[in-house]
Structure 1
Amino acid sequence: MDSTITTTNENCEVHDQKVLNWAKDIIENRSSQRLIQKEIIDAVDRNAIWRGQECLNLLAPEAPTSPIVRQLLASEVGTRAAEGHIGPTQRWFSGTKYIDEIESLCVELLKKVFKSNYADHRLVASMIGNMTVYASLTKPGDNILSISQPFGGHSSNRYDGPAGIRGLNIYDVPMDPVELVVDIDKFAKVARQVKPQLVTLGASMTLFPFPLKEISEIVDEWGGKIFFDGAHQLGLIGGGQFQDPLNEGACIMTGSAGKTFSGPQSGIIVWNDPEQTQSISDTIFPALAATHQVNRVAALAASAAEFLAFGKEYMEQIVANAKALAKALHERDITVLGSHKGFTETHQVILDVKRFGGGLEVAQKLEKANIITNKNLIPGDKPEDWDYPSGLRIGTIEITRLGMKEAEMDIIADYIVSVLEGRETVDSIRKRVIEFRSAYQKMHYCYD
């Protein structure tokens, strides 16, 4: 008898099989490919109405782009290839003179926003920026320190992301679970033992600035460097509302353009040291980026121009709204991390919702009320609690760009607490959210 076990595709599938079966049914039972295409368009439209017009989007990693940016993302230039660096002799293809104009404007605008000597625009995702840093500034077997995930560290800087793929030895940055900042005394002890080539700072759960100058003084003892992963804080940094990593000790900074910066989904990388330029550029092209979506580059450049005009005011209001929302929730007896030190200095508010069933249950319940948040690991959770963490992460980017200010944060806090404490039915709260949201449909802090 053949003892070989046959494994079906269904058994190996990482995606939710029920959702995939829904798609299979449409593909197999629609009478034409045109009707299948219409299903795709309809799904996009359903999302635009629900998420774009009827929900309170409190996701920290999302920001709505301006009308001009959306227009550019659908532009003709998106069909064009432009391998290589800017300039007619450095391109593989001819016919790129206007693309060179678009890309050079983008590069110079990014330098101006972040007050850096160098910038690159070709990263289609911020995680590719992190891969660029590890590939250009480390070699396999090097030691690095990065933040563990219960304290807000991101997988891109751990064993299951680019840092691990590079073959680095990864040690934890010691964090204070109460103050929610780096424990500098413990850091000094660990760092002097490990002598990391690179210390990666920046996290997807960040409420307060990092002690970059103190850390820089420590790692300078053996020539170590600081890499700031500003995925979430990039806009706050550019708008002068957080810290200035490149001037406080970091040798390089990456980030996502699609979060506080409020541009298209893509990555940004900036640095000052000319000696790093060749290795960074060689890693980006040809190793990690070839054709790099010129429509996205145009949209990124337009976002940078808007940011120079409106970014400071926009970022100030994002932080003011986060503080106001955190305070309002705290006053309604919700456990808010960092309450003893003003809750937050960023766009994020972190809740401990264990007594309400944990992060997953709360996020799903809020979603039914058209309030979009995400579950999150918090100090005290273990990495294996990933699917069922104790925390909830809230962000104020989108509601700020829709024109909401401190007064609206009280209203939103009431909606959230009503859901968590079951003061009224979820359906009733959902209807109130839709009515409230109907008055906030216009994008602010951008050109019409």
Structure 2
Amino acid sequence: MTDTTTAPAATQEAVAALFGALGRDQERARATLNLVPSENVLSPLARVPFALDAYARYFFDHKRMFGAWSFFGGTGAGAIEQETLLPLLRDQAQAPFVNPQPISGLNCMTAAMSALASPGDTVVLIPTDAGGHMSTAGVARRLGLHVLTLPMADAHTVDHEALGALLRSERPALVYLDQSTVLFPLDCAPLREVIDRESPRTLLHFDSSHLNGLILSKALANPLDRGADTFGGSTHKTLAGPHKGFLATRREDLSERIDASTADLVSHHHPAEVLSLAVALLELRDRDGAGYGAAILANARALAARLHERGAAVAAADRGFTGCHQVWLDTRSADEGVAMADRLYAAGVAVNRVGVPGVRGAAFRLSSAEVTRCGATEADSTELADIIADVVVDGAPTDRVASRAAALRARLYRPRYCFEDDALEDPAVPEWLRELAAAVGRGVYGEDR
């Protein structure tokens, strides 16, 4: 029998190396202002389910479907999904039919397209040079769909006359709006009008992955109110939830098709993420979600306006810079963009260096979502813009901006718009769980500064 009381030296060294690297990465995260549009930060309480037994369990709702349990371990987490998450999601999505089974944004995209179109059908997608997601066309083709691109007047505007002609000639099954690089979210209403006139059987889906926090907080219009048949996407961008996804509709027939699709494409859908999403939606409802959504928009505009004042090449200056959380910044050339991004990261500011519509070389795609989640104001956003402009416009070295970035991060170090420890003071919450939640908050974000 092997003695396991003391780990071999090689094992201890390997574990120490792994957790040492993990600790250093966490320290970096504590010191970094994150402006990546695809990311956000979970609250302390929304992290707790990942440390509990629910993370290891399956939930298939077999008792409701078949009258008996097959997997018993997920019954508690499953009850929370049915009794808490689903009512919250229906209310905030303003839809009687919601599906929280997708485990990511791309999985959500796959489930939506497979539900709303059949092999051999035609689907119309936003071209990547107008901000469409780089994977959408590939997923569509792998599902056996014929892909056409949405005619655009420019990077932000649909050519409605050309769309009408396309609909008349092609009669697509689905128009899938998949903006991932976006400044001004497309309005479904004029598209719905064209579809109803030219090809009434065509469905309209709005992939809201980047915008869910703004839509569910009512900072932006609900796509269903504007004519979409379905909407949904990932839950970890402007919506500060776990890496997961959802789909929503007001049509029972489409809900049945979505449920059939996710039954085949998802299977087990991760109870810990379900519970974490329930916490995130409770926080959006009860911790000033409306204020959070409005602040994201205000901070993005403040960031863009100050960068423009400082001489940075900010996209869409003639249109007010942005209508969501994203701000686009031209870095003049790919080589310059790499050097700027590296210097900013070394100074404690993480940007997203990608190609964006209308910019020939590399650019920065910035987001106000995570800093807003951490309590940023418009004044903070202006200060952040000055830090970025020092590097991008003035060519400042890392050491010139690092101390200012660190001071700003010290104020914006912990999520706001979320539950604090006192939310768990009810006697119904076990003491050990209160202690775990407090430890998670201290461990991830550090002590109050």
Change (3 A) 1:86 1:303: farther
Aligned: 1:256 with 2:234: yes
Partner of 1:147: 126
- 1:140-178 residue CA offsets vs partner (Å, 9 max, x unmatched): 22111111222211123212xx21211211111122336
1:284-303 equivalent positions in 2, closer than 5 A: 284-285=262-263, 287-303=264-280
Q: In the aligned structure 2, how far is the partner of 1:229 from the partner of 1:360?
A: 30
Shift of 1:446: 0.6
Partner of 2:371: 399
Aligned: 1:348 with 2:320: no
Partner of 1:224: 202
Q: Contact 1:84–1:90 at 8 Å: present in 2 too?
A: no
Name the count of aligned residue pairs: 408
Aligned: 1:109 with 2:54: no
2:221 aligned counterpart, secondary structure:
coil
Q: In the aligned structure 2, how far is the partner of 1:85 from the partner of 1:226?
A: 32
Change (3 A) 1:85 1:422: farther
Q: Structure 2: 5+ residue runs without aligned partners?
A: 1-7, 421-449
Q: In the aligned structure 1, how far is the partner of 2:388 from the partner of 2:275?
A: 38
Change (3 A) 1:120 1:68: same
Aligned: 1:429 with 2:408: no
Shift of 1:416: 0.8
Partner of 1:440: 412
Q: In the aligned structure 2, how far is the partner of 1:277 from the partner of 1:86?
A: 21
Partner of 1:271: 249
- 1:294-344 residue CA offsets vs partner (Å, 9 max, x unmatched): 111111111111111221110100110000000001111111112112111
Shift of 1:358: 5.3
1:50-129 equivalent positions in 2, closer than 5 A: 50-51=28-29, 53-84=30-61, 87=64, 89=67, 91-94=69-72, 96-104=74-82, 105-129=84-108
Q: Contact 1:254–1:268 at 8 Å: present in 2 too?
A: yes
TM-score of the pair, normalised by structure 2: 0.86
Q: In the aligned structure 2, how far is the partner of 1:132 from the partner of 1:262?
A: 22
Partner of 2:284: 307
Change (3 A) 1:298 1:412: same
Query: Which moved further from structure 2: 201-210 or 319-328?
Result: 201-210
Partner of 2:349: 371
Partner of 1:187: 163
Picking from 298, 317, 324, the partner of 1:339 is 317
Q: In the aligned structure 2, how far is the partner of 1:152 from the partner of 1:284?
A: 26
Change (3 A) 1:79 1:129: same
Which residue identity lines up with residue 137 of structure 2 in the other structure? R
Partner of 1:176: 153
Shift of 1:423: 4.5
Q: Structure 1: 5+ residue runs without aligned partners?
A: 1-29, 383-388
Partner of 1:18: none
- 1:170-200 residue CA offsets vs partner (Å, 9 max, x unmatched): 111122336x222223322333333221111
Shift of 1:69: 0.3
Q: In the aligned structure 2, how far is the partner of 1:121 from the partner of 1:333?
A: 44
Q: Contact 1:73–1:296 at 8 Å: present in 2 too?
A: yes
- 1:386-416 residue CA offsets vs partner (Å, 9 max, x unmatched): xxx4321000111111111111122111111
Partner of 1:14: none
Which residue identity lines up with residue 348 of structure 2 in the other structure? N
Q: In the aligned structure 2, how far is the partner of 1:266 from the partner of 1:359?
A: 31
- 1:336-379 residue CA offsets vs partner (Å, 9 max, x unmatched): 11211211110110112225845444323322222111122223
Which residue identity lines up with residue 258 of structure 1 in the other structure? H
Q: Contact 1:84–1:290 at 8 Å: present in 2 too?
A: no
Aligned: 1:131 with 2:110: yes
Change (3 A) 1:261 1:219: same
Picking from 119, 140, 143, the partner of 1:166 is 143
1:209 aligned counterpart, secondary structure:
coil
2:135 aligned counterpart, secondary structure:
helix
Change (3 A) 1:92 1:289: farther
Which residue identity lines up with residue 377 of structure 1 in the other structure? G
Aligned: 1:210 with 2:186: yes
TM-score of the pair, normalised by structure 1: 0.86
RMSD value, Cα: 2.1
Change (3 A) 1:390 1:192: farther
Q: Contact 2:334–2:362 at 8 Å: present in 1 too?
A: no
Shift of 1:99: 2.6
Shift of 1:85: 5.7
Change (3 A) 1:352 1:195: farther
1:406-425 equivalent positions in 2, closer than 5 A: 406-425=378-397
Q: Contact 1:209–1:242 at 8 Å: present in 2 too?
A: no
Change (3 A) 1:86 1:219: farther
Q: Contact 2:311–2:393 at 8 Å: present in 1 too?
A: no
Q: In the aligned structure 1, how far is the partner of 2:180 from the partner of 2:336?
A: 19
